[in-house]
Amino acid sequence: MNPTGAKPLAVSMGEPAGIGPDLILRLYAERQQHGLPAFIVYGHLDFLRARAQRLGLDIALVAAAPDAAAETFPNALPVADIAGLVPDKPGDSTPLSANVVVEAISQATFATLRGTCRGVVTAPIQKSVLYTAGFRHPGHTEFLAALCWPDQPQRQSVMMLAHDELRVVPLTVHVPLSSVPGLVTAELIGATCRTVAHDLRTRFGIETPRLALSGLNPHAGEDGSMGTEEQRIIGPAIVNLQREGLDVTGPLPADTLFHLPRWRQFDAVIAMYHDQALIPIKTVAFDAAVNITLGLPIVRTSPDHGTAFDLAGTGKASSASMLAAIRMAHRLTA
Ligand SMILES: NC(=O)C1=CN([C@@H]2O[C@H](COP(=O)(O)OP(=O)(O)OC[C@H]3O[C@@H](n4cnc5c(N)ncnc54)[C@H](O)[C@@H]3O)[C@@H](O)[C@H]2O)C=CC1
Ligand SMILES: NCC(=O)COP(=O)(O)O
């Protein structure tokens, strides 16, 4: 049940009105079938008990400290209980629960930084609700960087979504589309590609990662007639990275780069903005792709989907991506 030793994975509960808690509880109920490693949930114990009951899951949940979690896991789901107001209302979120949601991520991260847990798996958050409550980070990716490097605000983490040998990285992430062109800089391209190459080497064992960069404009600018970012910024940034010894190709037209035979020629594709990167991977592997944060001193994974309010509390949501996220965190920390 806990094949790699005593340390559990730290799983943050995510948005209580969403499907994250459902998936965690269901996977715990199916832990033997899936051969899951031990994990501890950071969240609200009474809420999780109420959700388990709503879903008809016959499981025990118990308050536990992370260093006792692996021992507890075979018999009861260990929960690092966080005090707060968390009603069991699927699909009906409230900013009043935001403190518990954010604290769950923080405590799971700190337990991992301390070495009490092996890695962090996050269930989805409802970003808009957290913003209403004053959360000032675009998402987990940036929040985790702030937690890991509180004194180095310039340090950046990188979002990667992965499924088997298909991997994609959005260069810019949770920003309005109108601000993307101004954010596509040689500095950001350089830093992102170095982080991706480094983590593919050190965490994924790919000795010489093959990276491809998409263009920003249709047909990668069509020699400057449909936009000039490729010639002015992306192309020169690639040449610089090649001089550093990185295997980087591009800028390539984004519309054909994700044709599977082409995509598979690279260990990761760096696309210029969120949807350019996430649409292809969610189209080919919505059920099984995993969101992995690169550049951190710890491992963090997450399912590729969001809170799916329409499915919360119904038991109908697929647990495949959450299962893949747990397995990926397990593999990366084994
Ligand atoms: N890692 C995270 O914390 C993430 C959070 N989000 C947040 O989730 C919220 C809702 O985002 P949406 O764009 O609506 O995306 P969503 O992924 O929550 O839902 C999109 C569609 O996919 C379906 N779906 C999602 N997960 C499913 C599953 N496991 N099984 C079956 N069907 C599933 C939903 O029912 C819905 O029809 C937003 O606040 C967004 O920011 C989105 C992605 C990741
Ligand atoms: N669209 C991906 C997403 O929203 C996940 O963001 P994060 O919370 O993992 O930073």
Residue 3 has pLDDT above 70, yes or no: no
Sheet of strand 166-170: strand arrangement: 61-63, 77-81, 39-43, 9-12, 120-122, 300-303, 290-294, 158-163, 166-170, 268-271, 210-214, 247-252
- pLDDT at residue 70 greater than cutoff 50: yes
Mean residue pLDDT across the chain: 97
pLDDT in tens, 232-262: 999 999 999 999 999 999 999 999 999 999 9
Question: What is the pLDDT, as a whole number, of residue 237?
Answer: 98
Closest CA to 83 of 127, 123, 46: 46
Answer whether 126 contacts ligand 2 (Cβ < 6 A). Answer: no
Q: What are phi and psi of 87, to 5 degrees?
A: -75, 150
The residues, ordered by sequence, that sit 6+ positions from 259 with a Cβ below 8 Å of its Cβ are none
Residue 241 is predicted with a pLDDT of 98
Q: Lowest-pLDDT range, 1-10, 18-27, 226-235, 288-297?
A: 1-10
Q: Give 327's pLDDT tier (boundaries 50, 70, 90).
A: very high
Which helix (DSSP H) or strand (DSSP E) does residue 61 occupy? strand 61-63
Q: Which fold has domain 1-155+296-334?
A: Isopropylmalate Dehydrogenase (3.40.718)
Return d(Cα 124, Cα 95) in angstroms, integer: 15
What does the pLDDT read at residue 6? 79
pLDDT in tens, 269-279: 999 999 999 99
Mean pLDDT, rounded, for 274-286 = 97
Say if ligand 1 is within 6 A of residue 27 CB: no
pLDDT in tens, 306-326: 999 999 999 999 999 999 999
pLDDT class of 95 with cuts at 50, 70, 90: very high
Dump pLDDT digits (tens) for 11-29: 999 999 999 999 999 999 9
Distance CA 85, CA 82 (A): 10
- The yes/no answer to whether this complex scores an ipTM above 0.90 is yes
Instruction: Tell me: pLDDT of 166 over 50.
Output: yes
Question: Tokens at residue 241, please?
Answer: 């990275």
In this model, does residue 328 exceed pLDDT 50?
yes
The answer on pLDDT for 2 being more than 60 is no
Question: CATH 3.40.718.10 residue ranges in the chain?
Answer: 1-155+296-334, 158-291
Contact present, 284 and 166 (Cβ < 8 Å):
yes
Closest atom of ligand 1 to 308 CA is 18
Please report, rounded to a whole number, the percentage of residues in the chain having pLDDT higher than 70: 99
Whole-number pLDDT of residue 300 = 98
- Find where tokens 């269901």 sit: 26
Cα–Cα distance measured from residue 91 to residue 99, given in angstroms and rounded to the nearest whole number: 18
pLDDT attached to residue 273: 98
- Taking the C-alpha atoms of residue 53 and residue 69, their distance in angstroms, rounded to an integer, is 22
Is residue 318 within 6 Å of ligand 1 at its C-beta?
yes
> How much of the chain is in helix, strand and coil states, percent to nearest 5?
45, 15, 40
Question: Per CATH, which fold does 158-291 belong to?
Answer: Isopropylmalate Dehydrogenase (3.40.718)
Residue 302 Cβ inside 6 Å of ligand 2? The answer reads yes
**Contact call for residues 277 and 161 (beta carbons, < 8 A):** yes
Residue 5: pLDDT band with limits 50, 70, 90? low
pLDDT beyond 80 at 1: no
Side-chain half-sphere CA neighbours of 288 within 13 A: 7
The answer on whether 72 is annotated among ligand-binding residues is: no
Judged by its nearest atom, the ligand closest to the C-alpha of residue 14 is 1
pLDDT mean over 52-67: 97
99-119 per-position pLDDT tens digit:
999 999 999 999 999 999 999
- 140 CB less than 6 Å from ligand 2? yes
Report phi then psi at 319, rounded to 5.
-95, 10
Cα(277) to centroid of ligand 2, in Å?
A: 12
pLDDT cut 90: percent of the chain above it? 97
- Ligand nearest the Cα of residue 314 is 1
Assigned token pair, 322? 């959450």
Element at 23 (helix H, strand E)? helix 20-29
